[in-house]
Structure 1
Amino acid sequence: MLLWINGPFGGGKTQTAFELHRRLPGSVVCDPEEVGFGLHRMMPSSLRGDFQDFSGWRQGVFEVLDRVLHKHEGVVIAPMTVVDPRYFAETVGRLRSAGHDVRHFALLAERETVLNRLRDRGLGVAPLFRLVGQGDLLLRREQFAVDKLDYCLAQLSRPEFAEHIWTDTTVVTSVAGRIADMVGLTLAPNTDGRMRGRLRRMAVTARHARR
């Protein structure tokens, strides 16, 4: 089974993916973004653009996930924003056509909720920046995500991008639990306390913030 976790940039996809991975023994996270980073590293910065526009990215994502799904016995988790219906068809749709059990979820939230999450990618310093009147300073390094936010939210609200999960008032552990329930999976108990959970999420952010 493939769990494709979609959503706007900063919408909680990666946190949810790694919470599922942590509590699903035998699962693996296969991040399609890594294929894009590889393509970017092969090109000068002036030629890069959005790697999803490269047919090689869509083909590479399909081939890698197709192979993993054939060879790996556990659940495969792919956190990736895909909002263009054509690209969605060439990745999620193509994997389904190949006979794989693909469960797709779009994590949605109000615009201000996502902006606050993007600010918090600063590893917990957002409240300090707000206190000194510089709350939006942290968003400058997330300009790509901010520029795409309204478009992503509008696209992902469309029926073809269901299943929709609204996450404004839902913590990551509960989002992961809801996904598991919807696909008939049983998660291992969450043994994290409040502080340990926050430190774990900060570590995920530090490792996987958009490069």
Structure 2
Amino acid sequence: MRATLSIIAILLLAACARPEPLDEQSAVHDPFARCSGDDRRACMAQVEAREIAGSGGRVQRRGMRLTFRLGNGETTALVNDTSDGGSAKRYVYAGYLPSIRHHVVEVRYYEGGSVLLLHEQTGATTDVHGFPAVAPGGRRVATASMDLIAGYTPNHIRVWRVTDTHLELEWGLDGGTRWGASDPVWHGPHVVTFTRHTLPSPSAGPSEVIRTSMRLDLRNGGLTVQSQDP
């Protein structure tokens, strides 16, 4: 009986130590996904408060100022512009991604918005436009964005290389005014799928958008993009 229990314990330890499979999916980090409608702003404030509380004091909100205590001992801040015009912007903290050592911040402009990634050691910021999906292993990040109707946000898919100090753009494809991208999901460290949203004509409306599942493969030093739909 004792020997049997020992074998079970060994098997359980082995299962716990087993590395994650390479085809494990890594999807978009968007803590505000459930915030919508008239209460979106209040919902986002609640999410931000929760994420700041979990930052261990590295992030603080004081009125209009969002302050970050960096790993190099310095601090940096993002300050809201509450003017009623084109320069207006509001920063909302969206959490920390330890695998890439970046904080995530949503930016709301007078019209439209974006997403910033801020390096926790250097304070370097990268405007990536869409919420990030981190590849297994943390060496790449995919972002997608679109605004086919109003055009406040660029329409594209991007892959960023994670360095020790910042992000570098590795690959990108722009859709112009005809198509945008959403929902990047990693399948291992080299393959990412996303949804392409296409307007069949310049005069088409939101109800006419065509959605296509796409696959991007970054293996073997090359790049392939193809549709997954039949």
Same fold (TM over 0.5): no
Higher relative contact order (CA 8 A, sep 6+): 1
* TM-score when normalising by structure 2: 0.26
* TM-score when normalising by structure 1: 0.28
**Greater helix fraction, Structure 1 or Structure 2:** 1
**Greater strand fraction, Structure 1 or Structure 2:** 2
